[in-house]
């Protein structure tokens, strides 16, 4: 009998196990899991803290018993794999019944990630949130101490989700982020929208924070701030749990991910790796990357079972990853796919950037909310490198549509022609996605745009700033030194504008585009401020 041992019983490991059984009724399949729970809902953990998900049991999707009954799996919880003997094809298992050597024909490593713990004095008091046991510890501390204040060290997805749920428990919550912005997958002008929303909902957000010490009741920052924090959670991110692989001489990458080929094989052909512990291939650069996402682990688990069961065709290979992700915070969603502008520029790409702020659905139908959308486009190929979206509704949909465009190699300009489901509750006759395609097309046809961070340089470079909004809008705030000529009156002011270089802005970029088309046709050099005053405000807000 062939034996497959799977280390890790959550997303990647358990998807491998159940699919493998469906393909091979006779194989011995052993799943070992270090914690006390398999197939639990990692992504749901923060929501039980506030009882948004009221029942702990609803996070436990399967048990060893249910998996035995349906899939005839040998699932062993509280069991660690501590060593691999590749020569002998055995793995050392340490569980409730002691230590044993388990033979394998195939070994699957899906141990996940380890929360990163920064070397700060007093950090041993900080909890983490990755397992059901972690969740229990947080709830136990909150319930037993009746804590009123919390600090989250790290402004990523998990830290912010926890912040929301702790606020919903009525606590004073501070997010402490070392970088200049929260939510690293977003560019700063997009992340700032989220920061403002968090603050409006009672979360204190400190960026550029240098944590120097954690005391019994506080977190101390280098700038002298002392943050009340009866509860401290370290939510900086995870690194691949690679110790077992390293000890066995399996290759790991620069950032610690276990190296695998496109069939998820390590450098030992009998050992496979997947999930947060394994490297992925980045879709834009084709370089190794780490993408700790549940969906990728699940998908790779199914594929790996096919591979172990002997399937071998052109579909049985891992596809490069786009890293599509989303987070919901106090009814606001922030999503991203692919590269952000920072990343694209760091990679030396020549990019075209588009910001737009359309309504999530037809503005005349109740409940429409403004969507903030950003595209990062390869200026040479017109391929989409990445996108970001923030808003109250329709964010997931637009990110998914762009993810599809990226996966299929659709050009940005082609977004103009995609046909999305429209009725006034769900979209617009010109959907935000179509609008992005229109804007890209305009730029491809020669319209020049400036980004929010280029305004200062433009002024120094002799551009005259013209705000083409209404006087009322202009009064409420404009760009430094901008004069006001509303778009509907522009044709009456052509003569006085001749000979100048005009950087035009409106609120979101649409009237600015119209203004530029008028001015250009009168022979006036004109450029539009991409995303309008709104993107400028988002980028420059403090």
**330 makes contact with its own copies (CB under 8 A):** no
Q: Which of 123-131, 242-250, 252-260, 418-426 is the region at the interface with its own copies (rule: CB under 8 A)?
A: 418-426
Residue 303, token pair as written in the block: 């594929």
Q: Would you count residue 420 as binding its own copies (CB under 8 A)? A: yes
- Determine, following the binding rule CB under 8 A, whether residue 296 of this chain makes contact with its own copies: yes
Chain centre distance of CA 236: 14
Write out the two tokens for 525. Answer: 């050099």
Do 135 and 45 touch, CB atoms closer than 8 A?
A: yes
| Region of 212-220, 247-255, 290-298, 346-354 interacting with its own copies (CB under 8 A) | 290-298
Nearer to its own copies, 225 or 263 (CB): 263
Helices (H) and strands (E) counted in the chain, each on its own, are 16, 29
- Write the CA distances from 295 to 12, 24, 43, 301, 462, integer angstroms: 9, 24, 11, 10, 50
Closest among 194, 325, 50, 190 to 175, alpha carbons compared: 194
Q: Which of 117, 213, 294, 524 binds its own copies (CB under 8 A)?
A: 294
Which range binds its own copies by CB under 8 A, 1-9, 244-252, 258-266, 394-402? 394-402
Instruction: Judge residue 476's burial from the number of C-beta atoms within 10 Å of its C-beta, 0-12 exposed, 13-18 middle, 19 or more buried.
Output: exposed
Closest approach, Cβ 116 to its own copies, in A, equals: 21
Distance CA 135, CA 158 (A): 12
Asked if 261 touches its own copies (CB under 8 A), the answer is no
Instruction: Tell me whether residue 23 or residue 246 sits nearer to its own copies (CB atom).
Output: 23
List of residues 6+ apart from 82 with CB closer than 8 A: 92, 93, 94, 99, 244
Token readout for 534 is 């709104």
27 exposure class (CB count in 10 Å sphere: 0-12, 13-18, 19+):
middle
Using the minimum distance from each CB to its own copies, give the nearer residue, 271 or 309: 309
User: What residues form DSSP beta bridges with 334?
Assistant: 327, 390
CB of 175 to its own copies, least distance (A): 18
Q: How far is the CB of 247 from its own copies (least distance, A)?
A: 30
Is 471 exposed, middle or buried (CB count within 10 Å of its CB: 0-12, 13-18, 19+)? exposed
Distance from C-alpha of 303 to C-alpha of 266, rounded to nearest angstrom? 15
Q: Which of 399, 247, 386 is nearest to 328 (CA)?
A: 399
364 belongs to the binding site for its own copies (CB under 8 A): yes
Q: Which of 84, 147, 173, 399 binds its own copies (CB under 8 A)?
A: 399
Judged by CB under 8 A, does residue 369 bind its own copies? no
Choose which of 141, 174, 324, 507 interacts with its own copies (CB under 8 A).
Answer: 324
Least distance CB 54 / its own copies (angstroms): 9
Pick between residue 206 and residue 334 the one whose CB is nearest to its own copies: 334
* Residue 155 Cβ vs its own copies, minimum distance, rounded to whole Å: 16
Could you tell me the CA-to-CA distances from 377 to 383, 384, 446 in Å, in that order? 6, 4, 16
| Options 174, 242, 340, 434; binder of its own copies; rule CB under 8 A | 434
Interface with its own copies in residues 57-86 (CB under 8 A): 58-59, 61, 69-72
Residue 381 sits in the site that holds its own copies (CB under 8 A) = no
Map the footprint of its own copies across residues 40-59, applying CB under 8 A.
41, 43-44, 47, 52-53, 58-59
Segment interacting with its own copies (CB under 8 A) among 188-196, 226-234, 342-350, 408-416: 408-416
Longest dimension (CA), the chain: 89
Binding positions for its own copies, 472-501, rule CB under 8 A = 487-488, 491
> What is the C-alpha separation between 293 and 288, in angstroms, rounded?
15
- Considering only 141, 174, 298, 340, the residue that binds its own copies (CB under 8 A) is 298
**Which residues in 143-202 contact its own copies (CB under 8 A)?**
157
Residue whose CB is less far from its own copies, 25 or 97? 25
Binding residues for its own copies, rule CB under 8 A, total 88
CB of 431 to its own copies, least distance (A): 7
CA angle 322-326-332, nearest 5°?
Answer: 150
- State the minimum distance, in angstroms, from the CB of residue 183 to its own copies: 13
Contact positions with its own copies (CB under 8 A) in 110-129: none
């Amino acid at each position: 009998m062939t034996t497959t041992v799977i280390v890790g019983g959550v997303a990647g490991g358990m998807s491998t196990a159940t699919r493998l059984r469906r393909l091979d009724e006779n194989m011995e399949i052993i799943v070992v899991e270090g914690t006390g729970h398999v197939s639990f809902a990692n992504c749901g953990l923060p929501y039980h803290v506030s009882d948004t998900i009221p029942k702990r049991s609803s996070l436990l999707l399967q048990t060893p018993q249910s998996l035995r009954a349906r899939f005839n799996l040998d699932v062993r919880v509280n069991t660690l794999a501590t060593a691999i003997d590749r020569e002998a094809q055995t793995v050392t298992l340490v569980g409730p019944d002691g230590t044993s050597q388990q033979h394998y024909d195939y070994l699957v490593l899906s141990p996940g990630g380890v929360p990163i713990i920064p070397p700060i004095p007093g950090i041993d008091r900080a909890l983490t949130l990755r397992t059901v046991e972690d969740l229990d510890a947080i709830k136990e501390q909150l319930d037993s101490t009746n804590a009123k204040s919390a600090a989250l060290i790290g402004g990523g997805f998990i830290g912010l989700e926890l912040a929301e749920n702790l606020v919903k428990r009525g606590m004073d919550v501070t997010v402490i982020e070392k970088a200049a912005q929260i939510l690293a997958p977003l560019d700063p002008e997009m992340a700032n929208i989220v920061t403002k929303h968090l603050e409006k909902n009672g979360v204190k957000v400190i960026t550029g924070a240098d944590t120097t010490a954690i005391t019994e009741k506080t977190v101390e920052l280098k700038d002298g701030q002392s943050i009340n924090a009866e509860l401290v959670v370290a939510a900086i991110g995870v690194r691949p749990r690679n110790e077992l692989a390293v000890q066995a001489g399996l290759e790991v990458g620069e950032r610690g991910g276990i190296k695998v080929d496109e069939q998820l094989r390590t450098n030992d052909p009998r050992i496979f790796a997947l999930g947060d512990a394994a490297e992925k291939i980045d879709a834009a650069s084709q370089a190794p990357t780490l993408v700790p996402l549940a969906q990728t682990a699940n998908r790779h688990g199914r594929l790996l079972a096919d591979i172990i069961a002997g399937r071998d065709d052109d579909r049985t290979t891992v596809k490069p990853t786009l890293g599509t992700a989303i987070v919901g915070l106090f009814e606001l969603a922030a999503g991203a796919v692919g590269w952000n502008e920072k990343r694209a520029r760091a990679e030396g790409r020549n990019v075209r950037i588009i910001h737009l702020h359309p309504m999530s659905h037809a503005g005349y139908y109740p409940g429409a909310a403004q969507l903030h959308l950003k595209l990062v486009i390869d200026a040479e190929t017109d391929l989409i490198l990445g996108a970001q979206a923030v808003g109250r509704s329709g964010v997931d949909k637009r990110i998914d549509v762009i993810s599809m465009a990226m996966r299929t190699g659709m050009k940005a300009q082609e977004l103009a022609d995609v046909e999305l489901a429209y009725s006034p509750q769900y979209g617009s006759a010109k959907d935000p996605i179509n609008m992005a395609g229109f804007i890209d097309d305009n730029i491809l046809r020669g319209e020049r745009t400036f980004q929010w961070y280029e305004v200062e340089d433009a002024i120094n470079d002799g551009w005259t700033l013209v705000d083409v909004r209404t006087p009322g809008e202009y009064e409420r705030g404009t760009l430094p030194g901008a004069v006001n000529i509303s778009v509907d009156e522009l044709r009456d002011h052509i003569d006085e504008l001749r000979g100048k270089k005009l950087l035009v802005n409106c609120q979101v970029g649409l009237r600015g585009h119209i203004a530029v088309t008028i001015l250009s046709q009168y022979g006036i050099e004109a450029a539009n401020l991409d995303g309008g005053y709104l993107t400028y405000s988002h980028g420059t807000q403090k």
